Amino acid sequence: NAGVMQNPRHLVRRRGQEARLRCSPMKGHSHVYWYRQLPEEGLKFMVYLQKENIIDESGMPKERFSAEFPKEGPSILRIQQVVRGDSAAYFCASSPPRTGGAGTEAFFGQGTRLTVV
Amino acid sequence: QKEVEQDPGPLSVPEGAIVSLNCTYSNSAFQYFMWYRQYSRKGPELLMYTYSSGNKEDGRFTAQVDKSSKYISLFIRDSQPSDSATYLCAMSVGAGNNRKLIWGLGTSLAVNP
């Protein structure tokens, strides 16, 4: 049973380009969360999705950032027109349906390290 | 004031020592209290979670919650070099789809052989 899979592990983008980060949740998990981590700031919640629905995007910047979790395929975090300040580790976590919300049984992927040059 | 406060360390101990990691919080509405371990360049992994005040033990790890003092602890007995990692506390508030996790900054632990 594979864990939460994120790809790519490392992504380098020039300022102004688009970054697309993918997350495949664990089998049977229908809840996906995206977090951003900076060394001085810890883990910051961005968005919580269920299949085809955004449940809570209160942590997501209003501009340039979007997320989706389609019926088929991985969840995608998309950052348009990246800036240097977007450089961070982005983690995806998933949890099974019965926990809901920011479930106590959230399992994390290995993260995508985005570097904007 | 942050909702969850955690001393970032670093904390350095000799192998075999008892380690005490702590978080304080200000929101009395927090319900679940969790400890995650994060190795360098890896994602956080859930170690333990508790709901009520008291102790919960799992092998060498003991999680303690004191809701009256708004204080949680993670104790590691007989610490090993493989315990060297960053330990993050997290607390949940709200219910169902409105439940959120609030995170501490993490404490960096080094266990020296």
pLDDT digits (tens, 9 = 90+) for B72-104: 999 999 999 999 999 999 998 877 767 778 889
- From residue A61, how far is each of A36, A86, B98 by CA, in Å? 11, 11, 19
Residue A107 near chain B (CB below 8 Å)? yes
- pLDDT of A28 reads 85
Q: Which of A12-16, A51-55, A93-97, A101-105 has the lowest mean pLDDT?
A: A101-105
Give the neighbor-by-neighbor strand order of the sheet with A75-79: A5-7, A19-24, A75-79, A65-68
Q: Looking at the predicted structure, is the pLDDT value of residue A95 above 90?
A: no
Which one is predicted more confidently, B64 or B49?
A: B64
For residue A15, pLDDT beyond 60? yes
DSSP string, A64-101: SEEEE--SSS-EEEEE-S--GGG-EEEEEEEE-TTT-S
- The pLDDT value recorded for residue A41 is 75
For residue A12, the distance in angstroms to the closest alpha carbon of chain B comes to 16
pLDDT over 90 for what percent of chain B? 66
Is residue A74 scored above 80 in pLDDT?
A: yes
Q: Has residue A1 got a pLDDT over 60?
A: no
Which of A46, A38, A26, A40 is closest to A99 using CA atoms? A26
Using the Cβ of A55 and the Cβ atoms of chain B, whether some distance falls under 8 Å is answered with yes
Q: What is the mean pLDDT of residues A35-52?
A: 87
Are the C-beta atoms of A90 and A111 separated by less than 8 Å?
yes
Give the gap in angstroms from C-alpha A94 to the nearest C-alpha of chain B. 12
Nearest by CB to B106, from A42, A101, A111: name it. A42
Q: How far apart are CA A65 and CA A77, in angstroms?
A: 7
The pLDDT confidence band at residue A100, using thresholds 50, 70 and 90, is low
The answer, yes or no, to whether residue A101 has pLDDT greater than 80, is: no
* Predicted local confidence at residue A39, as pLDDT: 76
- Average pLDDT of every residue of chain B: 91
Residue B2 has what pLDDT? 78
Place of tokens 């304080």: B24
Give pLDDT, residue A97. 74
Residues B49-55, mean pLDDT to the nearest whole number: 85
Q: Do B98 and A41 touch (CB under 8 A)?
A: no
Query: Token pair for residue B16?
Result: 């075999």
